[in-house]
Structure 1
Amino acid sequence: MNPRRKQRLAVVGTVAVLVAGAIGLMLYALNDSIDLFYTPSEIIEGKNGQKPQIGQRLRIGGMVVPGTVSRDSESLAVSFDLVDTGPPVTVTYSGILPDLFREGQGIVATGVLVSQNAIKAQEVLAKHDEEYMPPELAEKMKGIRHVKPDNAGGQP
């Protein structure tokens, strides 16, 4: 092999190693920022054979179980159960809930898994359109009917 070819091969090899190292460092840095999406059933039973670890940041989406919303009268703390097709998961949150939050409504919460069936949320989002549902959740919810709460407050 002539010297010019060796030099090109060395440069190409060095660039490949540097690019691979940069990608590895980016993935390592983003590891703490990645929030995986789970449904309540996937948290309890596992997703692709793996259960989330306690202390892991994640997003959970499901329907608020009617009758499970409990608010603390002294603070903004609230807890409620989320369900999809399986067992419920309890979500605790301290803060102002979105205006669209109500029982029987679909929500997405971002937080930390504190036990195998409880999440401490930092953010709660309520979906805007009543017909929209994430595709993964819509597939699992086919054929399941959720009762909407009565309009006891007199609001439209």
Structure 2
Amino acid sequence: MTPRRKRMLWVGGALLTLALVTFFVVNAFRENLVFFYSPTQIIAGEAPQGRAFRIGGMVAANSLLRESDGVTMQFAVTDTDKTITVKYKGLLPDLFKEGKGVVAQGSWDGAVFTATEVLAKHDENYMPPEAQEAVNKAHQRAAEKKAAQ
């Protein structure tokens, strides 16, 4: 085998190894990436089916229900335009309250969002930027509907 052919094999092997490593890193990153959706986007079918994502908005007033097992909670998340029912089994954060901002991570089955993690906002003036944007868009759509009538 000539030195040139040997070098070409090494370069080809190195490129193949680099391509495989890149593929596995990108694949792992894509699987662990969690996107944020508003209730309006979820109902419109923009959220992935069978894959984890985050929902954000406000906890709807008078929507908090504790199921008979004592640890499963059900509540509604709204962006003031659409509302989605969320089920969560576990302890809710101390700052979790009706009428306050919330972000929940889990999956959507077409009727109920089953959360694996619930995050409450950390002070009375904070809302995640994505949730604030979703609420602002919902207010804008509502204002446009009123103006059209």
Q: Same fold (TM over 0.5)?
A: yes
Give 1:93's match in structure 2, choosing from 88, 91, 98: 88
Give 2:110's match in structure 1, choosing from 110, 116, 135: 116
Q: CA offset at residue 85 of structure 1?
A: 4.4
Does residue 44 of the first structure (1) align with residue 40 of the second (2)?
no
Does residue 15 of the first structure (1) align with residue 23 of the second (2)?
no
User: Superposition pairs for residues 7-156 of structure 1, below 5 Å?
Assistant: 8-47=7-46, 51-53=47-49, 55-113=50-108, 115-142=109-136, 144=139
Q: TM-score, normalised by structure 1?
A: 0.74
In angstroms, what is the RMSD of aligned CA positions? 2.4
Equivalent position SS for 2:11: helix
Q: CA offset at residue 68 of structure 1?
A: 1.0
Q: Distance in 2 between matches of 1:56 and 1:34?
A: 10
Equivalent position SS for 1:142: helix
Amino acid of the structure 1 residue aligned with 2:60: V
Q: Against the structure 1 CA distance between its residues 139 and 34, is the aligned structure 2 distance closer, same or farther, given a 3 Å change threshold?
A: closer
Q: CA offset at residue 45 of structure 1?
A: 1.2
Deviation sequence 1:75-105 (CA, Å, 0-9, x none): 2111011111432111001111111000011
| Matching residue of 2:146 | none
Moved >6 Å (runs of 4+): none
Identity of aligned residues (%): 41
Aligned length: 137
Q: Against the structure 1 CA distance between its residues 14 and 139, is the aligned structure 2 distance closer, same or farther, given a 3 Å change threshold?
A: same
Amino acid of the structure 1 residue aligned with 2:24: L
Deviation sequence 1:40-77 (CA, Å, 0-9, x none): 12211144xxx411x22121111101111111244211
The unaligned stretches of length 5 or more in structure 1 are 145-156
The unaligned stretches of length 5 or more in structure 2 are 140-149
